[in-house]
Amino acid sequence: MAKTPVESINVFWHDGMLTHNTGKGVFDSGMDPGFLDVLENHPENPDRVKNILSILKRGPISPYVSWHPGRPALFSELLSFHTQEYINELVEADKAGGKMVCAGTFLNPDSWDASLLAAGTTLSAMKHILDGHGKIAYALVRPPGHHAQPTQADGYCFLNNAGLAVQLALNSGCGKVVVIDIDVHYGNGTAEGFYQSNKVLTISLHMNHGSWGPSHPQNGSIDELGEAEGFGYNLNIPLPNGTGDKGYMYAMTSLVVPAIQKFDPDMIVLVVGQDSSAFDPNGRQCLTMEGYRGIGRTVRDLADRYTDGRLLIVQEGGYHITYSAYCLHATLEGVLNLPLPLLSDPIAYYPEDEAFAVKDGWRPPPSGSLKLNYDAAVPHGGTGIGVGIKDSEGKVVWAMSKFLQGCFSVEVCKALALREGLCLAKMHGLSVS
């Protein structure tokens, strides 16, 4: 299908979201050990979105941006995803002047109002699309939301903005919705909210960090597949540290695109976090602007193919004050299908994708780059996966295979095989394409 540029992206924003003050301390702890002269801002602070806001207003992409006001969510709207008991807990915490809801997650004065604005602004962005006023909308919101589960807060998140928008789409007649989460952390809250639904395909590409405590019991592994009618509708793609642009695009084209083709959604929600970038303090995935640009193009193509171009983008993490704004700019350039980059990467050069090429004296053959091949089979009583790396002439230069006990789908096996292949390439210094 021919790619056509969209005239504008509808950006939804409200200044009230800047009032959420997360404080200072040692990283996200809020603690002062007493021996540091300079305490840093909490990673999820207003400055991170101020730069995104300003780059959209005054950066090269500004002519393509149409601005719309956000609004607070109604309590009745929150109950489409969260339980009444959980909402009551947050309201009481706000009345008491705030508290640390879980590790690193502080409900301070004005935090609850900002959370309601983030949720309502995201709902307004989705409704803009559903009502036919625009094809593509971006909810620039904070606090983030994809870790918030129906019954608890987690990872700087109180209300699941994307989850609420997905539920609105379902309630408005969308038969099937897909969520593509590229934040560096597993979108556990969104997955949990639709874990038993076959109407929502949740896909998460994330750093292989596992569970981090009682507020985040999910580990983001490939065997978290969903339950009941939702079994097989949660696709986790945990990636090794340093995966980079090529690894992410390989995962997108080899796993995400086929899964969406099979699901055939009516709406796409892209959950973006720039904490997968090469310089983020909270992630180690080494994506550059070009990687984000490529993901944006791929998702736009999926929207054109399956949802008549309808695409909601929801902001999540991203904690490098400058580079997060640049990476968001690049993502939207990709979504716009612009023929040339509007903004150059200030990094200029990052050797991420070439880091595979030389290790322990090994160099790839001069005849060309190597090809990563992987496959899966589901024989009776278990699952087999195979990973091979071939040179340009088709000769296998490295291979491995595994047999897994248990019943897994071919899609899950391929996700595991991809991860094993990328880890294998890094371990042995192989340059893969």
Catalytically annotated residues: 147
User: CA–CA separation, 167 vs 177, rounded Å?
Assistant: 9
Residues facing 359 on adjacent strands: 362
Residues facing 149 on adjacent strands: 152
3-class DSSP state for residue 272? Answer: strand
Please state the separation of Cα 150 from the chain's center in Å: 19
Half-sphere exposure of 208 (CA within 13 A, CB side): 15
Residues facing 89 on adjacent strands: none
- Phi-psi bin for 272: left (phi > 0), alpha (psi -120 to 50), beta? beta
Residue found under tokens 């606090």: 143
Yes or no: say if 14 and 318 are a contact pair by the CB < 8 Å rule. Answer: no
Burial pattern 237-274, b for ≥16 Cβ within 10 A else e, equals bbbbebbbbbbbbbbbebbbbebbeebebbbbbbbbbb
**Burial (Cβ within 10 Å: 0-12, 13-18, ≥19) of residue 191:** buried
**Burial (Cβ within 10 Å: 0-12, 13-18, ≥19) of residue 309:** middle
